[in-house]
Amino acid sequence: MSEAAEPAEAYPSFNAFFTRPLKPGARPLADANDQVLSPADGAISEIGAIANGRMVQAKGRDYTVAALLAGNAEAADRFEGGRFVTIYLSPKDYHRVHMPADGTLCSARYVPGDLFSVNAVTAGGVDGLFARNERLACLFDTPLGTMASVMVGAMIVAGVETVWSGRVAPHGRSVIEEAIPQNLRLSAGDEMGRFYLGSTVILLFEPGRVEWLPDLKPGGTVRMGQALARRL
C-alpha cells in the first residue's frame, strides 16, 4: 500500500482495490529507445525463442503460436523464429499491464475459453493452458515490427479491461474481433489494460528484433518498466 496512489479506504470495491493505480514514479521506466520494457509486475513463467511455430509453456510442455492467437495463421507466421516471454501476475502483484514499446493498435481478438489457474503448478500440468484459457490477443505495429500482447484470463479473474474499450465482456463461444479506435497509438510505459485479480500476459516479437537480457530466467521476478530486452 505504500506504493498505491490512494489509501485503502478510498476504494469503493474489491476490484477497484485490486486494480489500484500506483503513485507517480513508483515504476521508473528503462530507456525505451534501445530497450524493451516489462509490461507488468510478476514472475517469468517462460522466456525464449519461437521455433517451429511453438513456444515453451513449462518444462516438457509447449503449445503453438497459432493456437494462442486463435488460429490467426498469418499473424503467427510473422513470429516464427522470434522471441516470447510469459509473465505471471499473482494476486499480490500490481494488476495493470503496460506497453513494452511504442505501438499502434492493429487488432484485438477476444477468444473464449476455460479459466484454469495459470500458476506454475497448473502450467506444468495442463496441456496448452494459455491457448485454452479465455484471452484477449492484441497486435500492435511497432518500431520492432509486429508485436503481440496477449492478456490471458484465469480462475477467479472477474474480467479484463483495456484503455480503448473498457471492460471486455464475455461474448459466449465465438472468437470476436473487437472494434478498435482508428490510429490508436500508445507509448512505451503507457497503460494498455488491467486484470481483475492476477493472471498472465504473453509478449511475442518478430525474429531479429529483440534479444532477451541474459539474467532473465524462468522463476525470476520483474517489475513494470524494467528492461527485458535489447532492441536489435
| Residues taking part in catalysis | 41, 98, 199
Cα distance between residue 191 and residue 151, in whole Å:
13
Q: How many CB atoms lie within 10 A of CB 137?
A: 23
Contact 203, 148 (CB under 8 A): yes
Q: C-alpha cell of 164?
A: 480503448
Cα distance between residue 136 and residue 138, in whole Å:
6
Residues in the chain: 232
Rg of the chain over Cα atoms, rounded to whole angstroms, equals 16
DSSP 132-170: HB-EEEEEEEETTEEEEEEEE--TT---EEETTTEEE--
For residue 49, the cross-strand partners are: 83
Cα distance between residue 1 and residue 186, in whole Å:
27
